[in-house]
Chains A and B, each alone.
Chain A
Amino acid sequence: MEKKFMKGNEAIAEAAVRAGCRFFAGYPITPQSEIPEYLTKRLPEVGGVFIQGESEIASVNMVIGAAAAGVRAMTSSSSPGISLKTEGISTLAGAQLPAVIVDVARTGAGTGQIYPGQNQYNVATKAPGHGGFKVIALAPATVQEAVDLTYEAFDYADRDRNPVILLADGVIGGMMEAVVLPEPKTAFPEKRDWQIDGCQGRERRVNRSLDNDTVKLEQFQRDCAAMYERWQQEDVRYEEYLTEDADLVIAAYGTSARVAKTAIRELRKEGFRVGLIRPITVSPFPYIAFDKLDYSQVKHILAVEMCIPALMVEDVKCAVARRTPVSAYTRGAGFVVSPDEVVGAVKDLISKGGAQ
């Protein structure tokens, strides 16, 4: 195992190569441009293909072509660029093609700002494109976790024949940390029984997201719904941090969860019993984690999010189902929430009788 000091974006790119990614197409956008910049050098070294697309739309469609060819493929972008990719992500889901889409999210509607944000929660978890499909969305809180989740994302994509989103943000993408890089993967399918490679010795195959047979299409939609249910049973991932005795639980993912952890350590020193539930799979959302709480003990749940309004808090409310009050502490416009602010927000709640 190799340990390296790497910037998040480059670490994600290297992890993808080690996961067997052999095709990347992308378009420059801050704060993720180091991913294409890294892969333009790295992919040719392993016999892979790098293309700078003329747009996000073209890039994701190039990924569609590569995925149909049976090649592990990835594209990356940031919030406004992901909007453009949603047509392609939807096509991937409808055509049952595996691919990994990295969103190094930034803040705000429209062009917004290049600074980090968690505003992409709903896009990643609820509507990564038209048509009501879902994807597994993985939200790393450290560069190491970004590496590990990228490495696994390709396996999820292949297993489900469905796109997977890695939901990072500008903090994770731009931060340098020591990471242990995984061994290059070799045990991924070389030849898929659905891939498009010329019909030699077999019937022709048509890869498509449209189906004129509506009975078949409805069945496909039911099969997808069953898959999403399976994800809830088998693939939910989350971290519980000091929740056992907590009377106030913070819910946060990614960068804000990392900040919340620091705040919790401070609060614990002062005797406050605060814990954290950190979704790692924001889709499927770890509703189960909130069922495990003892609501005779938990007086309040506080979502900490770097977006205004808070978005994940809706899933938290759904999970908590009114068993205890839920509120949110937010920062927006690219401001990274600080541990002191979280400490202050928690103390404020406690002073108002939210928790002891």
Chain B
Amino acid sequence: MQKTYARPVSLQPTVSGFCPGCLHGMVCKLVAEAIDKFDMREKAVGILPIGCATLSMEYYNFDMVVSAHGRAPAVATGYKRCRPDNLVFTYQGDGDLAAIGLAEIMHCANRGEKLTTIFVNNGIYGMTGGQMAPTTLVGQKATTCVNGRDPAQAGYPMRMAEIINTLEAPVYVARFALNTPANVLKAKAGIEKAFKNQLEGKGYSFVELLSNCPTNWGVSPEDSLKWIQEKSIPYFPLGELRNN
């Protein structure tokens, strides 16, 4: 018998605490596989946010710093400047990155810090129980916009990859979705590309991943994948916006 598929060494052999059907577990696996691919587990440092993504501190099998809400890009900046030989990435959700941490992500990207951001966009605050995020779609219901997001009150969902792409310094900006095997494979290649850029000392890479939240969207895991296809992707177009 030949073993052709195994848990990445960069993931701990533990049970995931993410909600059933949540794609965060997929993101953890993709990131861990990419780190394994470059044989960088012993040099990897994840800078975690506050939000559902914080749970990954229990799953990744390498060094991590858990930052305050929104501040991961600043913490990662301080860390990477002091230890440039480590593979440093921030792992952030949409409330963390696009609301409270907007200044930190913009300036980290604008300085062209030689690190990688993995941005998990599921259009809602998961950990706190389904409040409106900067990425919540127009009309989408949340506990703080019970009649659906109203642009007159809350503005429009923020396209973070496009916003980051207005800056000069980043070398790689891309958005992928996690709703189909084909899209997951593209996301995997994008994450690898982002890490490779860092290992080659090229500069800042930003990978946005359209994810789901069956629990707070109030749909089944299967329907949440359709939601990504039918609602998220039309507003948040997929692709590599920049690949220098």
Q: Which residues of A contact B (CB under 8 A)?
A: 22-23, 25, 49, 51, 53-55, 57-59, 61-71, 73, 87-88, 91, 95, 196-201, 204-210
Contact = CB atoms under 8 A, between A and B. Distances in A.
B81 A61 contact: no
A66 B65 contact: no
A25 B78 CA distance: 8
A255 to B, nearest CB: 32
A23 B62 contact: no
Contact of B65 (A22, A63, A64, A73): A64
B42 A64 contact: no
A51 B65 contact: no
B104 A54 contact: yes
Contacts of B42: 198-201
B232 interface: no
Contact of B71 (A68, A88, A198, A210): A88
A58 B68 contact: no
**Which of B41, B60, B75 is packed against the most chain A CB atoms within 10 Å?**
B75
Contacts of B124: none
A68 B77 contact: no
Given A51-B81, A54-B103, A54-B107, A68 B65 contact: yes
B45 A62 contact: no
Contacts of B106: 54
A66 B63 contact: no
Q: Say whether chain B's binding surface is mostly helix, strand, loop, or mixed.
A: helix
Contacts of A200: 42-43
Contact of B82 (A71, A95, A207, A210): A71
Contacts, number: 131
A61 B65 contact: no
Contacts of B27: none
Nearest to A49: B81
A65 B115 CA distance: 13
A204 B64 CA distance: 8
9 contacts: A64-B78, A65-B81, A95-B66, A196-B45, A196-B79, A198-B43, A204-B61, A206-B57, A206-B66
B104 A61 contact: yes
A204 to B, nearest CB: 5
Nearest to B68: A91
A208 B50 CA distance: 11
Nearest to A50: B81
Given A55-B103, A61-B74, A198-B43, A206 B79 contact: no
Interface string B73-107: 01111111111001000000000000000011011
